[in-house]
Chains A and B, each alone.
Chain A
Amino acid sequence: MSVKAFNATKSEKVFDIANFILMGIILTVTLYPFLNVLAISLNDSTDTVRGGIYLWPREFTLENYKTIFQYDGLIQGAKISFARTIIGTLLGLLSSSMLAYTLSRPDFKIKKFVSTFLALTMYFSGGLIPGYILMKDLHLIGTFWIYILPMMVSAFNVFVIRSFIDGLPYALQESAKLDGANDLTIYYKVILPLCKPVLATIALFLAVGQWNAWFDTYLYNGSKPELTTLQYELMKVLQSTQQGGSNVNANDLAQQMAQVSPESIRMAITIVVTLPILVVYPFLQKYFVGGMTLGAVKA
């Protein structure tokens, strides 16, 4: 947003100022909770109990982060988490966009049936136990691929991409066909480049979903330390500071609590978990805008 310093009319000035203020308020409202979390995570945990921490830590410490990084599963977990995020996102994008393209084609005979079939999965699911038994019969339990395959196609993502493709002029595909392109070429050379904005959006969904997933680790790979994920490890840490267990005596507990309070630890975890995925946003940002204006059709 640029402020015109001169030859701006009075009403434009007023608008600019009001705009500044409004945007400033919105920025504060959205950013404050995050800064507050950061401040608490860097504050001495005993001091946190006293309350009243807003924008910066009162007693700066890195103890909370130390506590979290003491756990040896963390490095392996980070590896697996990154792997599943990258592989899962790429494969997910590929399969969803291919399916979406197929479903968008008017000459696809069983389009309606497949769409309905797909839509059903959005509203009905087999539930936990049938899902588990299915995974067991597919021999996916205890493998890395259980993180990837079940999440590859989600009905919602497919429909989002499909409606985006539906919005593209069909003439583009026709002219490509006339130039001798086959279906795969059209998908790859025409559709994909035009779909960048929607693909970026879906990539974000997928990446965040993969990054934040811990429940599948817990259900299927809990006994496999080599397949642990970052979120699963952090869940464990989170628990350790919440319950003393029935066998811990009060003195030990008191000392333990003095080191790390649940509040500070929880906030430190939140930061650790959020940062890597925050980094993804700026990289996808440009695609949201780009691609909208590519390859227009002359009417």
Chain B
Amino acid sequence: MKHKAPKAIAMMLLASTMLFTAACGNTKGEESSTSDPNSTEPITFSFFGADTSPHWNKMQDVVGKKITEATGVTINAEYDIASGGGDDKIALMAASGDYPDLIFPKANLSKLVDAGAMIDLTELIEEHAPNIKKMYGEEMNRLKYSNEDQAIYTLPTNGSVDQLTFDNTGGFELQHRVVKELGYPEIKTVEDYENALREYYKAHPTTEDGQPTIPLTLSADGWRSMITVTNPAVSATGAPDDGEYYINPETYEAVLHYKRPEEKEYFRWLNKMYNEGLLDKDTFIQKEDQYKAKIASGRVLGIIDHEWAYNDAEVALKNAGKDEMTYGHYPVTLTSEFKRADFQPVGSDGYGIGITENCKDPVRAIKFLDWMASDEGQVLRNWGVEGEQYVIEDGVRVIPADVQERKNNDNASFTKETGIGLYFVFGPHYGDGVKDPSGNYYTTNFPEQILAGYSEAEKEALKGYGISTWKELFPTEEDFEVKEWGAAYNMPVPSDGKYQVIYQKTQDIVQKRIPEAVVSSTDKFDQVYDNMLAELDKAGAVEMEQQYTEWIKERVRLWTGKDVQ
């Protein structure tokens, strides 16, 4: 900058101002479309999704082009990033009135409703959406916003309608080699589970390469401790998953699930395991990657987790040819009188997509969502295009081997190209196990396909128990009533205010005291656990539970029409 004249600086400033003014005056609203609702004239809807969708390809994929062809609709989508959830973006929309035409607000729906951003879909569905009506049928009530405001603002899309799960990937896990060596013992209670671990551990205190065997380890790193440490206490004592609460099905009273006496017994069992040396000493100090590294080494006999969480460790085992060190899923309960509720149906419940006040043509929008919910639309969203991503052989939809292979091994680019899996948010859809009028499943997950995914060692273990999927060990959907309040963890609660403060406090207490109780000496356990319960109440848990109970009751009233007091 030595030889430049000051003029240069002045020029730069001038140039930048000019540039800046030139850049002004941009977006103008698009032309509003025709009023004929049946037209398939090109129309563009803007959309914001509070989940992330990194493979979104601006509808330049096979499925996207087909959708535009059939409906004339192009979606200009923007998705949330970072942790997902869209909190910031939606707060800005609510404050500034800049809404997209369609929105999937997730847990932030209330912000938009309070801002008057959402339109009531009740009439629109009644008049223009036969497919959506057919789908929800009896459960239409569950779409309503609240008792005071019975409008329908969103159509649940992140859950599926009438979902029937074909396999269980949770429960208590044991390595296939363990059950094989012990001759496939019955694994039903924590006692069975513990005995299996103990016996195998006694016979094999170290692995072949001399590393110590770990009978049982858990991951307590951040939110993972909910999955592997505290939630199993709920499921092993026969309660369904309602987040941090247990909800009494008769009275709808919500309590923090730690207060159930049977759960104390579950934690006592963990405490016993710890003191006996069967539960890994590092359980509460290891990070998630250390936990996975242990599993991937094959020296962990048992875990209490979900497959989606430890999957990459299991893949590492499979790649190393150690199939016998991967895990089966067992219906372990505290004692034989409990019945695991993994498969208790929750009914329609979930976040959904809605139409905003800014929408140029709500009728076209609802018709678009309805087309997406039609048989044609659903098959397209799940399977792709006939002759490309699937073929029909003797009336049965099949995915050709080469397509399946790409789907498995090059999923990212497959998704980008075909768009399969990118459009679930645009309109309701049936879940696994539901068949369309042609007798084919709507989704691409069905028993035959799951069986094909098992490794040899896994098949052997299943055979040892005389079953074909892990699910057969568990009580099924038929054994339970549909939960009247859906899944409580899906229920939106205020994101700030008193409730949230107390909730946070209780979480802090639980995360500190549960590990403390588990690692204390056996005679101290009662004291630590009871102190924790007292501490929770001191932090205001009772008040918080009453508040939560009220919300649950409101939900039940709204959904079932029952007069709950």
- Contacts from A to B (Cβ < 8 Å): 45-47, 49-52, 67, 70-71, 90-91, 94, 128-129, 132-133, 136, 139, 141-145, 149, 184-185, 188, 192-193, 218-219, 222-223, 225, 232, 235-237, 239-240, 243-259, 261, 263
Q: With a CB–CB cut-off of 8 A, which chain B residues contact A254? A: 311, 314-315, 453
Question: Which residues in window 18-50 of B have CB below 8 A to A?
Answer: 19-20, 23-27, 46
A51 touches B96 (CB 8 A): no
18 more A-B contacts (CB under 8 A) besides A46-B315, A145-B23, A259-B412?
A49-B293, A49-B313, A67-B412, A70-B412, A91-B16, A94-B9, A129-B95, A149-B20, A218-B88, A219-B89, A225-B58, A240-B54, A249-B445, A251-B450, A251-B453, A254-B315, A255-B409, A258-B315
B26 touches A49 (CB 8 A): no
For A262, the closest partner residue in chain B by CB is: B312
A223 touches B95 (CB 8 A): no
* B508 close to A (CB within 8 Å): no
Q: A145–B381 Cα gap in the complex (Å)?
A: 39
Q: A263–B288 Cα gap in the complex (Å)?
A: 11
A223 touches B92 (CB 8 A): no
Q: A129–B88 Cα gap in the complex (Å)?
A: 9
Q: A138–B342 Cα gap in the complex (Å)?
A: 54
Q: A274–B410 Cα gap in the complex (Å)?
A: 28
* B520 close to A (CB within 8 Å): no
Q: Interface extent on B, as a size class?
A: 35 or more
A192 touches B1 (CB 8 A): yes
Q: Using a Cβ cutoff of 8 Å, how many contacts connect chains A and B?
A: 145
A252 touches B408 (CB 8 A): yes
A46 touches B312 (CB 8 A): yes
Known contacts A236-B54, A255-B408: A250-B84 contact under CB 8 Å:
no
Q: With a CB–CB cut-off of 8 A, which chain A residues contact B55? A: 240
CB distance from A257 to the nearest CB of B (A): 4
CB distance from B97 to the nearest CB of A (A): 9
- For the residues of B in contact with A, the DSSP-based class is helix
A49 touches B24 (CB 8 A): no
| Residue in B23, B76, B411 whose beta carbon sits within 8 Å of that of A223 in the complex | B76
6 contacts between A and B (CB under 8 A): A50-B296, A94-B12, A129-B91, A144-B23, A218-B89, A252-B407
CB distance from A61 to the nearest CB of B (A): 13
- Contacts from B to A (Cβ < 8 Å): 1-2, 6, 9, 12-13, 16, 19-20, 23-27, 46, 51-55, 58, 76, 78, 81-82, 84, 88-89, 91-92, 95-96, 98, 158-159, 169, 289-290, 292-293, 296-297, 307-308, 311-316, 319, 407-413, 421, 424, 444-445, 449-450, 453
B20 touches A263 (CB 8 A): no
A245 touches B92 (CB 8 A): no
Q: A185–B5 Cα gap in the complex (Å)?
A: 9
B51 touches A245 (CB 8 A): yes
Q: With a CB–CB cut-off of 8 A, which chain B residues contact A255? A: 407-409, 411
CB distance from A121 to the nearest CB of B (A): 21
